[in-house]
Amino acid sequence: MKNIQVLIDSLPTNKLEATNYRINEAEMERLGDNEIRVKTIAFAITAGTRAGLQGSASYAGAPTAGRVMNATGVGEVVESNDTRLSVGDRVLGPLGWQSYSEHRAEALNKIDSKRNPEDYLGPLGVNGLTAYFGLLSVARPKAGELVMVSAAAGSVGHLVGQMARIKECQVLGVMGSDSKGEILKNQLGFDTVVNYKDPNYRQSLKEATEPGVDVYFDNTGGMILGSALFRMNVGGRIACCGVVSQYDTNSPEPGPKGIPGLLVNKRLEMKGFVVFDFEDRYEEARSEISGWMDSGKLISLVDGVSGLDAAPDAFVDLLAGGNIGTRVVRVSPD
Amino acid sequence: MKNIQVLIDSLPTNKLEATNYRINEAEMERLGDNEIRVKTIAFAITAGTRAGLQGSASYAGAPTAGRVMNATGVGEVVESNDTRLSVGDRVLGPLGWQSYSEHRAEALNKIDSKRNPEDYLGPLGVNGLTAYFGLLSVARPKAGELVMVSAAAGSVGHLVGQMARIKECQVLGVMGSDSKGEILKNQLGFDTVVNYKDPNYRQSLKEATEPGVDVYFDNTGGMILGSALFRMNVGGRIACCGVVSQYDTNSPEPGPKGIPGLLVNKRLEMKGFVVFDFEDRYEEARSEISGWMDSGKLISLVDGVSGLDAAPDAFVDLLAGGNIGTRVVRVSPD
């Protein structure tokens, strides 16, 4: 039996291209002691993994040429040498861009087989938990406040906006196409949207943010962060989640103007976070999020493509803003 | 009787010059109902007032050509039409660069006549309160942590470093001359100092901040903030107090690189503050600070000049980093 893999062929020197990847067929080896073999159902592609391809990471397992591309995926246990997981169990874990993978039980999380496994790549997975903790624990909006979110149609952003609505905030989404904006307003209940590619973006943002922004959930950094700083209210909070504007380049921009001057004048708090710091509260969060999904308050938008060989183009397209919701690659769907 | 005043003659177009000011002799008018006349003993010059000269402020009383230059000062009541203050009382208030001024009682704070009035321009005044709340309430260092402070020999910085020592932190001061650094180490107990004008600054900072900075108290913004960001530990806190590197110019720099990327990766918190937000806790703070002064734990460095006509040059020199400690202009000393 063969394992189909997508390997990193070369690290990108500037913008990522599909040719930075290549398909590989590997022989499946005998499963080791205490190992578990998982057949990939689907995996998510997220902008954050682009940062790992910048070549400066030095941790064990860092993405580099010749390795299988990293991704969080959902799969089914097909072989197990650990009593903690059995054949047929559904799991969430670092499966990568491949049809099969081998893990220790500690690296996998058993998921509820009755749910659509793709929920664990969206609201119940890293994206949903990132939205949840970044918004509720880091940015801490109060009912009635104006919450602005960038990359608002993205895998994290579309959930942030809905969670802010659930918390009775006004929600402004910033995204890069008007058609995305329509979906955010009509399907997900965003109050207002602004297209950052519009030549009148600054003026539109100003009008959409009267009388000012209380919370800004920043997925992009760069120009949009800069524009948000000028619209923040005194005492506003900025949750720094990601820097998608700066991942797909070899020459990152300088920081936005007004730092630290605007932080002082407006007593702003800017706080970076990574979701893994909240690991001990994942179950509590998943319970609340699944409640919102079950009652129809939270909708998971999935932007799926089929087949491992579609993954490189899907990633390049994602970095250009092509996705609406969570980009999922379906490898071996139900 | 004449009132000698220093007026703003013109707003600076780039760097502030002494010629932006002119001396004026005004007739003293009859004191109005409920007004109090104060004879200036001394006033402080602080970098922050340079920001008010950039011409964008629109509030009532904003500095503009023809007005008396603004400053916080200490003085003695010489005439009073309000029973709340009597002739001979010592007060702290917005006296300005002039020998006499008239106020409502609400604008003045009675001070302890047994103390050196200059203490109220340093540790017991805005500078000391800024250091106290910025360090202890905003940055929140724990014993044993490394606290870095920029403009460390300045009116706020030299107090921040000593307060951090009192809280059993390691203290690193960044300043612009080696002679200032010697005073910080030898007189004020800073553990290490780094001169940002040194061509090897980045390397010296790296060596002085092993194994990383936990708290950075930022008085400068600009390059020093940028250098600090790269030395912060995971979970570090940055208190944004002032932007002295950007005040005396008409072309502010862009923000430092690494914002927001480093904030995310290192889970940093950056928080701007203004001391007036802590007004309801001033008395509690003054009580603790005067205790530190009385027990010799906190030393107030005063860099004084004599006479109103020395004020413009003293301000220009301050913006070039000429002062060590609080710059005070003595108008009519005891």
B109 and B190 belong to one structural domain: no
Are A262 and B256 a contacting pair at CB < 8 A?
Answer: no
Query: What's the half-sphere exposure (Cβ side, CA atoms, 13 Å) at B115?
Result: 24
A166 and A185 belong to one structural domain: yes
Of A252, A258, A274, the CB nearest to B267: A274
- The answer on pLDDT for A313 being more than 80 is yes
A172 and A87 belong to one structural domain: no
Rounded Cα gap, residues A172 and A146, in angstroms: 7
Mean pLDDT of A208-237: 96
Phi, psi of A286 (to 5 degrees): -60, -35
Contact list in B for residue A240 (CB cut-off 8 A) is: 260, 263-264
The model's pTM: 0.90
SS3 B84: coil
Of B225, B246, B273, the CB nearest to A267: B273
Are A272 and B255 a contacting pair at CB < 8 A?
Answer: no
CB atoms within 10 A of CB B291: 11
A56 and A144 belong to one structural domain: no
Mean pLDDT of B38-56: 89
Angle in degrees, CA B1, B7, B8, rounded to 5: 175
Mean pLDDT of A253-259: 84
> Which pair of structure tokens corresponds to residue A107?
């690296």
Are A264 and B242 a contacting pair at CB < 8 A?
Answer: yes
B306 and B263 belong to one structural domain: no
Are B252 and A257 a contacting pair at CB < 8 A?
Answer: yes
> Minimal Cα distance from B266: which residue of A?
A272
B68 and B151 belong to one structural domain: no
Measured between CA atoms, how close is A258 to chain B, in angstroms? 6
Of B252, B256, B261, the CB nearest to A243: B261
B86 and B152 belong to one structural domain: no
Q: For B308-330, b where at least 16 C-beta lie within 10 A, e where not — what string?
A: bebbbebbbbbbebebbbbbbbb
Are B260 and A267 a contacting pair at CB < 8 A?
Answer: no
User: Is residue B285 situated within a structural domain?
Assistant: no
Rounded Cα gap, residues A149 and A145, in angstroms: 13
User: Is residue B50 situated within a structural domain?
Assistant: yes
Q: What is the ipTM of this complex?
A: 0.87
Q: Among all chains, which residue has been given the structure tokens 């000269």? A: B53
- The answer on pLDDT for B260 being more than 80 is yes
Of A225, A263, A274, the CB nearest to B270: A263
> Minimal Cα distance from B269: which residue of A?
A271
Q: Among all chains, which residue has been given the structure tokens 């000011």? A: B21
Of B240, B254, B264, the CB nearest to A243: B264
Non-local CB neighbours of A38 within 8 Å, separated by 6+ positions: A75, A76, A77, A78, A91, A93, A95, A100, A101, A102, A103, A108
Contact list in A for residue B246 (CB cut-off 8 A) is: 261
SS3 B110: strand
- The answer on pLDDT for A58 being more than 60 is no
What DSSP string describes B196-210?
TTSTTHHHHHHHHTT
Out of A120-129, B241-250, B294-303, pick the least confident.
B241-250
The CATH number given to whatever domain includes residue A165 is 3.40.50.720
* CA-wise closest residue to A137 among A297, A291, A279, A268: A279
**What pLDDT, in 10s, does the model give residues B279-291?**
999 999 999 999 9
pLDDT at B126: 92
User: Is residue A284 situated within a structural domain?
Assistant: no
> Which pair of structure tokens corresponds to residue A329?
């690659």
Tally of domains in chain B:
2
Q: Among all chains, which residue has been given the structure tokens 């004449």? A: B2
Model confidence at A249, pLDDT cuts 50, 70, 90, reads: confident
Amino acid at the residue B234: V
Contact list in B for residue A254 (CB cut-off 8 A) is: 254-257
- Are B123 and B155 spatial neighbours (Cβ–Cβ below 8 Å)? no
Amino acid at the residue A253: E
Q: Among all chains, which residue has been given the structure tokens 């802010």? A: A164
- Are B85 and B77 spatial neighbours (Cβ–Cβ below 8 Å)? yes
Percent of chain B that is helix, strand, coil (3-state, to 5): 30, 25, 40
B130 and B117 belong to one structural domain: no
Of A241, A255, A268, the CB nearest to B259: A255
> Which pair of structure tokens corresponds to residue A75?
């799969």
Measured between CA atoms, how close is A156 to chain B, in angstroms? 15
Rounded Cα gap, residues B113 and B299, in angstroms: 19
- The answer on pLDDT for B258 being more than 90 is no
Largest CA distance in chain B: 64
Domain of A189 in residue numbering reads as 126-276
Q: What percent of chain B has pLDDT over 90?
A: 86
Rounded Cα gap, residues A31 and A270, in angstroms: 47
> Minimal Cα distance from B270: which residue of A?
A270
Model confidence at A257, pLDDT cuts 50, 70, 90, reads: confident
CB atoms within 10 A of CB A307: 12
Contact list in A for residue B267 (CB cut-off 8 A) is: 271-274, 277
Measured between CA atoms, how close is A45 to chain B, in angstroms? 19
Are B272 and A262 a contacting pair at CB < 8 A?
Answer: yes
pLDDT at B311: 97
Measured between CA atoms, how close is A116 to chain B, in angstroms? 31
A135 and A240 belong to one structural domain: yes
Are B260 and A270 a contacting pair at CB < 8 A?
Answer: yes
> Which pair of structure tokens corresponds to residue B277?
């937000």
Rounded Cα gap, residues A107 and B264, in angstroms: 24
The CATH number given to whatever domain includes residue B107 is 3.90.180.10
User: Is residue A291 situated within a structural domain?
Assistant: no
User: Is residue B293 situated within a structural domain?
Assistant: no
Are A264 and B270 a contacting pair at CB < 8 A?
Answer: no
A86 and A157 belong to one structural domain: no
Residues of A at the B interface, defined by Cβ within 8 angstroms: 218, 221, 225, 240-243, 246, 252, 254-274, 277
User: Is residue B76 situated within a structural domain?
Assistant: yes
* CA-wise closest residue to A49 among A57, A58, A41: A57
Rounded Cα gap, residues B85 and B227, in angstroms: 49
**What pLDDT, in 10s, does the model give residues A23-57?**
999 999 999 999 999 999 999 999 888 888 877 66
Strands (E), A179-301: 192-195, 213-218, 232-240, 269-272
| C-alpha dist (Å) from residue B329 to A315, B16, B62 | 63, 18, 21
Are A270 and B254 a contacting pair at CB < 8 A?
Answer: no
Are A272 and B271 a contacting pair at CB < 8 A?
Answer: no
**What pLDDT, in 10s, does the model give residues B169-209?**
999 999 999 999 999 999 999 999 999 999 999 999 999 99
From the candidates A137, A229, A234, A240, which should be mutated to test the interface with B, based on the most B CB atoms within 10 A? A240
User: Is residue B284 situated within a structural domain?
Assistant: no
pLDDT at A60: 62
pLDDT at A247: 76
> Which pair of structure tokens corresponds to residue B274?
């203004």
Residues of B at the A interface, defined by Cβ within 8 angstroms: 218, 221, 225, 240-243, 246, 252, 254-274, 277
Rounded Cα gap, residues B47 and B6, in angstroms: 17
- Interchain CB contacts (distance < 8 Å): A and B: 105
- The answer on pLDDT for A334 being more than 80 is no
pLDDT at A14: 87
* CA-wise closest residue to B100 among B333, B305, B332: B332
B37 and B84 belong to one structural domain: yes
Measured between CA atoms, how close is A48 to chain B, in angstroms? 11
Rounded Cα gap, residues B15 and B23, in angstroms: 20
Task: Supply the mean pLDDT for chain A.
Answer: 94
Contact list in A for residue B273 (CB cut-off 8 A) is: 264, 267
Strands (E), chain B: 2-8, 21-27, 35-45, 73-80, 90-93, 100-104, 109-110, 146-150, 170-175, 192-195, 213-218, 232-240, 269-272, 302-306, 326-330
Amino acid at the residue B92: L
Contact list in B for residue A249 (CB cut-off 8 A) is: none
Out of A44-58, A67-81, A115-129, A227-241, pick the least confident.
A44-58
User: Is residue B295 situated within a structural domain?
Assistant: no
Q: Which residues pair with A239 in a beta bridge?
A: A217, A271
- The answer on pLDDT for B60 being more than 70 is no
B147 and B265 belong to one structural domain: yes
Non-local CB neighbours of A101 within 8 Å, separated by 6+ positions: A3, A37, A38, A40, A68, A75, A95
pLDDT at B56: 64
Higher pLDDT, B185 or A255: B185
